[in-house]
Amino acid sequence: MRTNRGIRALALIGLLSAMPAYAEWSVNVQIERFRWNEQITPPPEVNETGGRAGVGWSWQMDQETGFRWRYRGGLYAGSLKYKGQTFTGTPAQGTSDYSGIVNEVHGLYRSSPDAWLQVVAGLGFDYWQRTFPFTSQREDWSVWFARVGVESGTWTKRGFFAGAGAKYPLYTNENGHLKDAGFDQNPNLRPGRELSAYAELGYRLSRGWKFTGYYDSYRFAQSPVVQLTKGTTGFIAWQPRSSQDVVGLRIDYYF
């Protein structure tokens, strides 16, 4: 019995040791121009613009054809210029801070080694905190999303590549920490789901280095209204129709 267990353990170690030969690993850094908009009536609308930076990592099965997996993850943060209104409708300007983590798993398919296009479909989870130092308010967002698209060009050798497709939020949850704003309840808000686009264009400089310019986005419909109280006074709250647009540059190093 111990011999069999030892054989299985050695086989597992051998398999794990062989994985790097059949996979491509990378780390990256990225800089982004970020924009968030909330369509509020009556105005002013909320607009946040500014820069974000991040670090990431990825793993991809290294094979010529057929179906294969890819994983991508990353951390990001930034301080943005906020212009709009507070939760109570008072016009406000200031700085908002973002920090978050995203993880995605993609399935890829290419029919032949010479195929110019490959199909990609994936599932991801994006979590970020949004804080407003000028009001001491905070929001926590959790978004499960799917993406479907196509990619072209070279993936493991020198040359240009491109990709484009659509994203769709499967599940959204927003914790507005409404008790911290003085309300008696803190019901979570559920922004609605809308289709958005993504695209990338880049150049693989060598086996080790890749440069990518990209566009990414979210679209959220208005959430259902929730009831709140503050003492004996009643209120309603909702997340307005919102959009997020990001344009960035990413530098990957493969090993």
pLDDT in tens, 102-130: 999 999 999 887 888 999 999 999 999 99
97 or 15: which carries more pLDDT confidence? 97
pLDDT in tens, 189-233: 999 999 999 999 999 999 899 999 999 999 999 999 999 999 999
**pLDDT at position 200, please?**
97
**pLDDT at position 22, please?**
62
Range 230-237 contact pairs with CB under 8 angstroms and sequence separation of 24 or more: 230/182, 230/183, 230/184, 231/184, 235/183, 237/87, 237/176, 237/178, 237/187, 237/189
**pLDDT at position 18, please?**
42
Q: What is the dihedral of CA 93, 99, 105, 109, to 10 degrees?
A: 50
**pLDDT at position 85, please?**
83
**What CATH number is given to the structural domain containing 232?**
2.40.128.100
Question: Is 6 part of any domain?
Answer: no
CA neighbor of 244 nearest in space, from 10, 47, 25: 47
Q: Structural domain tally of the chain?
A: 1
Q: Is the pLDDT of residue 36 over 60?
A: yes
Question: Is 212 part of any domain?
Answer: yes
Average model confidence (pLDDT) across the chain:
89
Strands (E), 154-231: 159-175, 192-194, 196-204, 209-221, 226-230
Question: Is 11 part of any domain?
Answer: no
Question: Is 156 part of any domain?
Answer: yes
Question: Is 5 part of any domain?
Answer: no
Per residue, the 3-state secondary structure of 146-172, as one string, reads: EEEEEEEECCCCCEEEEEEEEEEEEEE
Across residues 18-41, what is the average pLDDT?
85
**pLDDT at position 157, please?**
73
* pTM for the structure as a whole: 0.87
Question: Is 4 part of any domain?
Answer: no
Res. 169 pLDDT band, cuts 50 70 90: very high
Question: Is 17 part of any domain?
Answer: no
Question: Is 240 part of any domain?
Answer: yes
Find the domain containing 204 and state its range: 23-254
